[in-house]
Amino acid sequence: MNILRRAGVLAALNLLVLAGVALGASPASAATCQPGSPGPSNQYPGRTVAAANFESGSIAGDGFDAPVTAGTGTADVSSAERHSGRCSAHLHVTTDAGSLANFSAPLPAGSDEVYTDGWFNITKAGVTGNDVPYFRFFNGSTRMLDLFRNNGSGDLVLRVTSPTQAGAFTYRTLSPNVPLGTWHHLVVHVVANGASSTVEAWLDDQLVYSSKQVATGFSTISRIQLGAEHRRQAGDSYIDDVVIKAQKAGGSASQLPGTFTPVSPTRVLDTRNSSPVGADSSVSFQVAGVNGMPAKVAAVVFNLTVTQPRAVGFITAYASGTSRPNASNLNFSARQTVPNLVTVPVGSNGKVALFNRSSGSSHLIADVTGYYVTGTPATAGAFRSLSPSRLLDTRSSGGVGADSAVSFRVAGANGIPASVAAVVFNLTVTEARSFGFVTAYASGTSRPNASNLNFSAGQTVPNSVTVPVGSDGKVTLFNRSSGTSQLIADVAGYYLPGTPTATGAFKALGPTRVLDTRNTSPVGADAAVSFRVAGANGVPSGALAAVFNLTVTSPQSFGFITAYPSGTARPNASNLNFSAGQSVPNLVSAPLGSDGRIALFNRSAGKAHLVADLAGYFLP
């Protein structure tokens, strides 16, 4: 855990200067701006309380109050520097007595979780030994914490001004020597929780600080300020593309029932730290109320991995406290390591149960990637989870022939309404007579160049599938193989029809191939590759998360792949495990980075080729 160092600073700096000031002059360069330009957005959760690119020619508006200036300080809009468009906010403060300039955004009452996101270009430093501020967090008129550029060293510094420390503030250098005259992207995430507050900071999309034990002394945040409170902070700052989001920690009040909230991949279960799950036994783990998730959620999405199983078997995931369904989520052989994405309802106790249907014990690992908001789904693109039930089992009809297809009814079956946009189901191939792959797509449409599940002769392999439903209410599965295969489909839920517009609603696509390293070069050992989702293939910028089928092929060694938002720290999680020479698929649900991309890390001693087929995305 990061430890903050303490240093004495004048307690008077805690005060937010609001009284006895004059408003800044009207911007002289407003005519050069582009009024009506779309405002900035990002993938972070919460209600957007401010989003400004200052193209309107004014700082006030878009969630910000009128700027506060005094003495020789000025706050206006300038075309001299900008990150995007033609304009940015410009704050200028001198060393003259009483000079100051700042502007701020009030937050909704009770906000205790805030994301601040913006671009800064400090072109002129102030007085050595002081600072030029970036984001400052207030409770009432008291500053809780802020990030600033030290005028002497150029370092990016976190300062915590907890009132419980009687003026003995704490400081932490996050990044050395931020150059003057260059644009830099800064994101700060704060969850106010007294002595155990969370603070995370990213500079230029790299995580530079993360702690859940910061003593802020407050449980709510009321205002975000940008700019200087006094003349010792003299300098010239240009600010652009600012987005501030706020909510109650872990809450999703701003999102409608059935919409999705992504989270950075987080490990919530690893029986290797305790004991394996016994034969024909179950284990449950807490989802609701942990790792930033709200106390009530409808369903959870997590990557499930079985490892070190002592016998053949399968795992069934279901809501804790309910009857175990006749379905499987993950099939395995003895000593095999197998992953699969799981979407499952959460029990009334906030837990999910995993049953090990095997004659031997197995270790289980679960990495959560998001959850669906509780309540009755009623908006287009919202998800309705179902207790797993079987939609298709070709073992009773002779199987699917080589290079042949089978279609099965989704709409109107097993509690699914007659009109749905897309369906989520677990697909299992078994008794395959030859190697090959299966492609799932909307019935009545052209078969896409994509795969959902790869298999070898005699192998039993599962994979989760998210796919649009055809106009006839069916889904088609094509067996691209030289032999017959048996296919089984167990439904997990469905997405409501219509044109999705709500934050967190799902828009099904294709599937569409968005990455294939076989056309370029493989991903090296312990190396990463990223691919664009937002802003390409019909996906809007600012999309929250993507669902895609990831396939590893021709790996030179055993290993695993971790998917995570581009520009963030790689989490302790896995999405796909493989052996040398193996072709293995797995469905992945992952948040998008601020650059609209997803990173894939090859944790292996050898190179591997990666293929990604996009199934859809969640709206910003």
Give tens-digit pLDDT for 138-197. Answer: 988 888 999 999 888 889 999 998 665 555 688 888 987 899 999 999 999 999 988 888
Identify the bridge partners of residue 160 per DSSP, sorted by sequence position.
Answer: 145, 170
Would you place residue 7 in the very low, low, confident or very high pLDDT band (cuts 50, 70, 90)? very low
In this prediction, residue 2 carries a pLDDT of: 33
In this prediction, residue 435 carries a pLDDT of: 92
Range scoring the smallest mean pLDDT among 71-85, 168-182, 301-315, 551-565 = 168-182
In this prediction, residue 213 carries a pLDDT of: 82
Q: Check whether the bond before 294 is cis (ω within 30° of 0).
A: no
Q: Is the pLDDT of residue 121 over 60?
A: yes
In this prediction, residue 167 carries a pLDDT of: 59
In this prediction, residue 180 carries a pLDDT of: 93
243: amino acid identity, one letter: V
In this prediction, residue 445 carries a pLDDT of: 94
Between CA 317 and CA 330 the distance in angstroms is 9
In this prediction, residue 9 carries a pLDDT of: 26
pTM comes to 0.61
Q: Is the pLDDT of residue 24 over 50?
A: no
562-568 average pLDDT score: 87
Would you place residue 46 in the very low, low, confident or very high pLDDT band (cuts 50, 70, 90)? confident
Q: Is the pLDDT of residue 391 over 80?
A: yes
Question: How many other β-carbons are positioned within 10 Å of the β-carbon of residue 521?
Answer: 10
Where is pLDDT greater, at 356 or 193?
356
Q: What is the mean pLDDT of the chain?
A: 86
Range scoring the smallest mean pLDDT among 5-19, 160-174, 305-319, 381-395 = 5-19
In this prediction, residue 177 carries a pLDDT of: 86
Range scoring the smallest mean pLDDT among 23-27, 95-99, 583-587 = 23-27
In this prediction, residue 453 carries a pLDDT of: 87
In this prediction, residue 243 carries a pLDDT of: 95
Report which DSSP code applies to 59. Answer: S
Between CA 477 and CA 480 the distance in angstroms is 10
In this prediction, residue 609 carries a pLDDT of: 96
86-107 average pLDDT score: 91
In this prediction, residue 164 carries a pLDDT of: 53
118-140 average pLDDT score: 87
The predicted-structure confidence for 212-230, as pLDDT tens digits, reads as follows 888 888 889 999 999 887 7
Report which DSSP code applies to 46. Answer: S
Q: Is the pLDDT of residue 29 over 50?
A: no
284-309 average pLDDT score: 87
Q: Is the pLDDT of residue 27 over 50?
A: no
272-298 average pLDDT score: 88
Element holding 238 (H helix, E strand)? strand 235-247
CA 603 to chain centre: 21
Q: What tokens appear for 76 in the block?
A: 């206006």
Q: Is the pLDDT of residue 546 over 60?
A: yes
| Nearest to 265, CA basis, from 601, 612, 507 | 601
What are the residues whose beta carbons fall under 8 Å from the beta carbon of 271, sequence distance 6 or more?
A: 277, 283, 363, 364, 365
What are the residues whose beta carbons fall under 8 Å from the beta carbon of 272, sequence distance 6 or more?
A: 307, 308, 363, 365
| Nearest to 426, CA basis, from 351, 268, 314 | 314
Contact 289, 350 (CB under 8 A): yes
Q: Is the pLDDT of residue 53 over 70?
A: yes
For the ranges 229-238, 263-272, 284-293, the maximum mean pLDDT occurs at: 263-272
In this prediction, residue 254 carries a pLDDT of: 60
Percentage of the chain beyond pLDDT 90 is 53
Between CA 337 and CA 576 the distance in angstroms is 10
Between CA 312 and CA 127 the distance in angstroms is 69
DSSP codes of every residue in 494-531: EE--S---STT-EEEEEEEEEEEGGGS-PBPTTEEEEE
In this prediction, residue 292 carries a pLDDT of: 67
CA 405 to chain centre: 35
